[in-house]
Structure 1
Amino acid sequence: MAVSLQVIYPISDSSTFDHDYYADTHMKLVAKHMGEYIDQALVTKGIAGGPKEPPAYHAVATMVFADQASMSAAMKQSGPVMADVANFTNLQPQVLIGEVVS
């Protein structure tokens, strides 16, 4: 069964996030080190939390893997990706791992 890994960057009063670096550099590191195991990747930049509401998240990255074994293999290669987080944000991202049900 396919599994997804979502990396979620919540906005707070003191949070910073460099969207250009994230798109141009960080996601290329993801592709280089983990890409062979990823079936699909999607990054969503937060622009609103609803009508006339500010976004609650800077960004959400979703990666879909064929199965748990593929995700585990990707995570074993993620060291350089994890080390890069401090280059674009001062946040500790939240993570959601789940079964893809539709």
Structure 2
Amino acid sequence: MKFKLILSLLLLSSYFVALSQEKQPEKSSKHNITATEKGLIKISILYPYAEGKNFNMEYYAAKHMPMVAGFLGSNLVKYTIEKGLSSGIPDQPLPFMAIGSFYVKSLSEYQAAIAPNRDAIRADFTNYTNVTPVIFVSEVVQ
């Protein structure tokens, strides 16, 4: 059982690295974060897993996230897309089917860019999911 968990975690981390949508900048050896990432605002859109819910990763990666990224202009530093594989705890349900994250310089600029496009963004949900996302805003500190 431990072997399966370790293998799952290794596969999960490899998949997240491969799925990243941008070229990775050089990392700081001390904390594994770039100097340009510290202080950024991270907007995470989490799609909780639930029985009977669906998520079309191909559409999300090819259409939805690039559409939203286009609204953000020069405020956007990068975005990432993660596909949930397991909970990390054996025999526990998957907590999230997917997580999309935008790294921006300014929260107020992000909000100003999203506001006039909110209806278009929400209307596009039906093209890839029937899940109501949870949005988490944070600051990258390390």
TM-score band by shorter chain is: 0.7 to 0.9
Contact 1:44 1:59 in 2 (8 A): yes
Structure with the larger RCO, 1 or 2 (CA within 8 Å, 6+ apart): 1
Q: Which residue of 2 aligns with 1:27?
A: 65
The gaps in structure 1 that reach 5 residues or longer are none
Could you tell me which of 128, 134, 139 is aligned with 1:88?
Answer: 128
**CA-CA distance at 1:97 after TM superposition:** 0.8
**CA-CA distance at 1:17 after TM superposition:** 0.7
Higher strand share: 1
In 2, the alpha carbon distance for the partners of 1:42 and 1:66 equals 15
Q: Which residue of 1 aligns with 2:83?
A: 45
Percentage of pairs with the same residue: 26
RMSD in angstroms over aligned alpha carbons?
1.9
1:64 matched to 2:103 = yes
Aligned to 2:100, the other structure's residue is in SS state strand
The gaps in structure 2 that reach 5 residues or longer are 1-38
Count residues with an aligned counterpart.
102
**CA-CA distance at 1:71 after TM superposition:** 1.9
1:11 matched to 2:64 = no
Higher helix share: 2
Aligned to 1:74, the other structure's residue is in SS state helix
